[in-house]
Structure 1
Amino acid sequence: MQVNWKGVFPAVTTKLKDDGSLDQEAIKAGLNRLIDNGAGGVVMMGMVGENAQLTPDEKRTVLRIAVETVNGRVPVVSGLAETNTGSAIQFARDAEEIGVQGLMVFPGLTYKSDDRETVEFYRAIARSTKLGIMIYNNPRGYGVDMRPDLLEQLKGEANIVAIKEESYDTTRVTDIYNQFGDRFVVFCGVDDLVLESAALGVTGWVSGMANAVPKESVELLDLAVKGDFEKARKLYRVLTPLFHLDVHVKLVQYIKLAENITAGYSENLKAPRLKLEGEERQRIVAIIEKTMKDLKALS
């Protein structure tokens, strides 16, 4: 199955039991809910999926559950977040064997690579697998910026096909299209910049808060891609306070809390992350509940 790199690809939360182990039944149910609400693909174990906190065995188990559950209905893309090139290559090969259709590749974790090292890291992974690769560009989070001049050095790797653009600079979208045409598919990687990105031609979105509001997220992107910006703006204005939570350092906690309120899944997290408490929790709950109330009024 080839990845059709368009539509809403939720960055799926990894459901956990109270003891921190994988809640396999909840993972399956969550995937079915996202697909039933129109997800174009699913991204397992991105940042929202707590990739860096999972053990190697847990990561591969999550992928097996996803491939079996999805069963070809939409593409399954795996986050790849490793600390060294050797481990990254091994994970890419394992993911391909398990049966995923694509990889969303983080820069090497813990060490901030320079430009030459970054290019070589992505090149080595691309040459180790036949899977389509989405580069995860999040310079705020990881200190490495995949600028167009670095993409220029990687355009010869045929299976590097997409970039999750999370530099928070929408001019980057147009710069990439101007330099490369349709060579790279640009995905919005920031929930509260999706309408702006779609106005510039983006048709794909890796979304965290789509876990909580999948139907509305799909509707929003569809409206924008069709050019119905009047309706899209109305929906976006309601969703934006919720989407702002996707760009906070505690986005995983916020998204899991939102998913708990909207769909009933557990807020359990991998330590050192902890569930929200006190005033912070009350503030986030208020944002989520107001958004749901406003969505109901809009419909």
Structure 2
Amino acid sequence: MRAAQVRRTGGPEVVEVVDVEEPRPGPGQVLVEVDAAGVNFIDTYHRSGTYPVATPFGLGLEGAGRVVAAGEGADLPEGGLVAWKQAPGSCAERVVVDAAEAVPVPDGVDAETAAALMLQGLTAQYLCASTYPVAPGDVVVVHAAAGGVGLLLTQMVVLRGGRVLATTSTPEKAELARGAGAEEVLGYEDFAARARELTDGEGVAAVYDGVGRATFAQGLDALRPRGTMVLFGGASGQVEPLDLQQLNAKGSLYVTRPSLAAYTRTREELLERAGAVLGWAAQGRLSVRVGGRYALEDVARAHEDLEGRRTTGKLLVLPEGAAEAELGRS
């Protein structure tokens, strides 16, 4: 079978699509034929060595597909459609997934939608439901609101009765954010001042920041007293060390650096969060934008597009597909 692998860390050029032996599921595992694999920033961090992984390794963590074989104790039916957020080597024709990570996909949700929702959808869900639980009437800032997490998070905040002030980098992305329910779209340069203007000087309840270094300091200035800075990524680089006295001076602020792993520690919590997200999709309450579809041979190009900020929504690799990337197609 074919799989995308990294034998040495570096830029997108180090990605190779090679023939490998088909894996076999062990106890508590299933072998899945991958219909769609998600492309995420964490994949680029693994590829570049920012997050060290022993080489060689298979790219990708997220996907959806049909179970073709089950190991001992894996109680998932063959032929069933499942999705997952954590299975190393998912950017391949087939992958072994721990049954504890495999989520049954409900009727009304196809494989592409499910693959697009597992990592980014669950992230958006825990951010606005648990890390800072948005209450009706809350005003929050969502950075990079036209990205994969941003579009989903904006919709989920609105579903909870909140109001979103979005940041984007282009007029086209601004329109996508408005389409997802953003009340206002701000520029990155002065978003804190604009957020205060739009809240009559009070500031926002929370800032959801996956950008990091370029936005973090200004984000603290956008918060109301006892507001919450939710730093969940570092697309622009890692945030510099913080003098905690700033939190006092700016109004007894909260800062947290959450991770999806910490919010899906048990099978029950994973199924609860995934059930909510996939359920909204099945009901038509959550719109999922696929910003690019790539053949397996084009994984490197998917990384280039993601890192070059040329994309919106979710990028997917279709191992059996031959379609060219169609950026902006939903």
Q: TM-score range by the shorter chain?
A: 0.3 to 0.5
- TM-score, normalised on structure 1? 0.34
Where is the strand percentage greater, Structure 1 or Structure 2?
2
Q: In terms of Rg, which structure is larger?
A: 2
Where is the helix percentage greater, Structure 1 or Structure 2?
1
- TM-score, normalised on structure 2? 0.32
